[in-house]
Amino acid sequence: MFRFSAPPPLSLYVHVPWCVRKCPYCDFNSHELKGDIPEAAYVDALLGDLEQDLPAVWGRPVSSVFIGGGTPSLLSPEALDRLLSGLRARLRLAPDAEITLEANPGTVEAGRFEEFHAAGINRLSIGVQSFDDDTLQRLGRIHGRREALRAAEAAHHAGFDNFNLDLMFGLPAQSLARGIDDIATALALEPTHISYYQLTLEPNTAFHHRPPALPPEEEIEAIQRQGQARLAAAGYAQYEVSAYARAGRQCRHNLNYWHFGDYLGIGAGAHAKITHAPEGRIERLWKKRHPRDYLAAADKVEGRATLRRSDAAFEFMMNALRLVEGFDTGLFGQRTGLAISAVTPALQEAERRGLIEWDAKRVRPTGRGRDFLNDLIELFLDGDE
């Protein structure tokens, strides 16, 4: 079906599904913690889950690990150390592998950042969202401005020379002044990476069922444009729709997603994409979603699906066109096993609409294409079977 000269780079995603409290805007597979996390049992389940997936990727190096959730930093340093030791024993982790842990400043784990660093975590992603106490309360966050500042300072103190701050805009009752203050505060904390994205009211969330009062569209646009200008002036280059980084500090794990690389996914509800190069096949699989079911099941896999030609072409475009620099046309063939001619009609139409710039070597979304990204991606929905 597909023709590959070699499989793409491989990453690992680890999902830890528990939170102290479910945020009203969150549509991730997260569950409010009732009692203690069953750490030992969950780490055992994660390693058993990985062992089931190993035959499909045997011998392939792993370039990055991302431990997300939920709030994975609720795990003790001892549990994370055992998890990472188990991963190293089973996988060929690259010597310079990027190993990221998501952290919530509203829990006591900020004081354990040094122990996380000692366990092998070399990058943090801290879910600040805002530095305004009133805004954070409206978002249902369990932390305030003081805890957010302390978490970033603790990251520096613990020796993390690479960490991300998550920041949102277009928040309930947010003014332009408050939005810009959030950016200014984040910049003063000197992270290497900032994720800056607009609040969206996702289905199956409390905010979707009971929408909060959001700023007018023109106010949201002003916050975004001025925020982006501040980021650029401070040396944070935008390389993806919502990602800004200092030179050389782009998130390698996310870049692998956006370049349509392969990834293992272990943990409750985790998804994986695996290229079986000799067979000319791309497979997706996903794990049992509820932590209770995941822990109880011997076989953690909930379902599998093989991608069709149109699936691969669309998914590649859905990811790669998020990048400001777009993609090398040769990468399309390497990652999908298809010739670029499979999407040439859609590329021509996108160019006609002013959504991309395109030549024999590179496809790049225009500013208009980034502003109307959904319209651009939809052009690739009807691929050749």
- Check pLDDT > 90 for residue 20: no
Domains of the chain, with CATH numbers? 10-255 (3.20.20.70), 309-385 (1.10.10.920)
- Check pLDDT > 70 for residue 205: yes
| pLDDT attached to residue 283 | 98
* Three-state secondary structure of the chain: CCCCCCCCCEEEEEEECEECCCCCCCCCCCEECCCCCCHHHHHHHHHHHHHHHHHHCCCCEEEEEEEEECCHHHCCHHHHHHHHHHHHHHCEEEEEEEEEEEECCCCHHHHHHHHHHHHCCCEEEEEEECCCHHHHHHCCCCCCHHHHHHHHHHHHHCCCCCEEEEEEECCCCCCHHHHHHHHHHHHHCCCCEEEEEECCCCCCCHHHHCCCCCCCHHHHHHHHHHHHHHHHHCCCEEEECCEEECCCCCCHHHHHHHCCCEEEEEECCCEEEEEEHHHCEEEEEEECCCHHHHHHCCCCEEEEEECCHHHHHHHHHHHHCCECCCEEHHHHHHHHCCCHHHHHHHHHHHHHCCCEEECCCEEEECHHHHHCHHHHHHCCCCCCC
| pLDDT attached to residue 360 | 86
- Check pLDDT > 70 for residue 383: no
| pLDDT attached to residue 384 | 46
- Check pLDDT > 90 for residue 108: no
pTM (whole model) above 0.85? yes
Residue 119: which of 149, 153, 159, 90 has the closest Cα? 159
Distance CA 22, CA 28 (A): 10
Mean pLDDT of the chain: 95
Average pLDDT over residues 160-180: 97
Residue pLDDT, tens place only, 286-328: 999 999 999 999 999 999 999 999 999 999 999 999 999 999 9
- Check pLDDT > 90 for residue 198: yes
| pLDDT attached to residue 102 | 96
Among the ranges given (100-109, 125-134, 206-215), the one the predictor scored with the smallest mean pLDDT: 100-109
| pLDDT band (50, 70, 90) for residue 219 | very high
